[in-house]
Amino acid sequence: MTNTLTWLDHLRIEFAIVRVDVMISALSLERQEEILGELRTNLRAASQQMGSAEAVRRLGGLRRLARSYLDVEHGDQGPRPRWLIGILWLFVVEGVLLAVAFAGSQGFVDGVLATDPHASGTYAWHALAPLGRSEVFVFSDGRLDSFGLAFSAPMLAAAAGALGAAVLAIGARAWRCLPQRRHR
C-alpha cells in the first residue's frame, strides 16, 4: 500500500512530533532536533506503507516514548538543575529591578518639578519602602541639590533573599532536584 501522504497524514505526523518535542524539551536543542528529525523520517516512511494513523498508533504512548529518550540521555536521575543559568537570571532580574527603581526615581523628580518648577525643600519617595528602600531628594529653587537613599537592612535582606531565591530556583529549574515519580 505505497501511497503519497495527504495533508491529513502530514498533520497527524506533525502533531505527534510536536507532542514528543514538548516532552523532551529538557534535552539539548541539537539532541532534540536529531531525535525529532529521525522520528519524522521514520513516521513518513511508515505512513506510506500503512497510513499515518496506524504509524502513529504503533509508536505506542508518546509520553512513554519521550520518557525513554530522557532516560537514555539522563539516566534514572533525570535532568539536573542548571545553576549557572539560574545565576544569570538572578543578575538579569536584578538589573531590571534597578532600571525600574532608577526610572521611578527620575519620574518622582520630574513629577516634583512639574508640580512646582521652583520647588524648594526636602521630598521623600517611599514607593519602594516594602522592599526596604526609600529615597530623599533636596530641591533648591527648582534644582535638585542632593539626594539620599535610606535602606532598612532587615527588610531589604528579606525582600532580596526571597526574590533572589525564587529567581534562582526558577531560572535553574531547581525542582529537578526533587525525586521524580516514574510512570511506567
Average pLDDT over residues 101-114: 92
Domain stop point among 74, 103, 118:
74
Name the residue with higher pLDDT: 43 or 5: 43
132 lies in the same domain as 166: yes
Q: φ, ψ for residue 99 (rounded to 5)?
A: -60, -40
* Whole-number pLDDT of residue 103: 93
The number of domains in the chain is 2
In a domain? residue 62: yes
* 1 occurs within a structural domain: no
Which residue stretches of 3-152 are H helix? Answer: 7-23, 29-50, 52-58, 62-74, 83-115
Residue 129 lies inside a defined structural domain of this protein: yes
Residue 184 lies in a domain: no
Mean of the per-residue pLDDT values for the chain? 85
Please tell me whether residues 155 and 118 are part of one structural domain: yes
Whether 179 has a pLDDT exceeding 70, the answer reads no
In which domain, by residue range, is 146 found? 83-177
Query: 108: closest CA among 119, 97, 124, 120?
Result: 124
Query: Is the pLDDT confidence value at 48 over 80?
Result: yes
Domain check: are 26 and 89 in the same one? no
Query: What is the chain's length?
Result: 184
**Which residue matches cell numbers 536543542?**
29
Q: What is the dihedral of CA 158, 162, 165, 170, to 10 degrees?
A: -170
Q: Is there a single domain that holds both residue 89 and residue 167?
A: yes
- Range scoring the smallest mean pLDDT among 115-129, 134-148, 158-172: 158-172
Nearest to 42 by CA among 73, 13, 2, 3: 13
Are 38 and 92 in a shared domain?
A: no
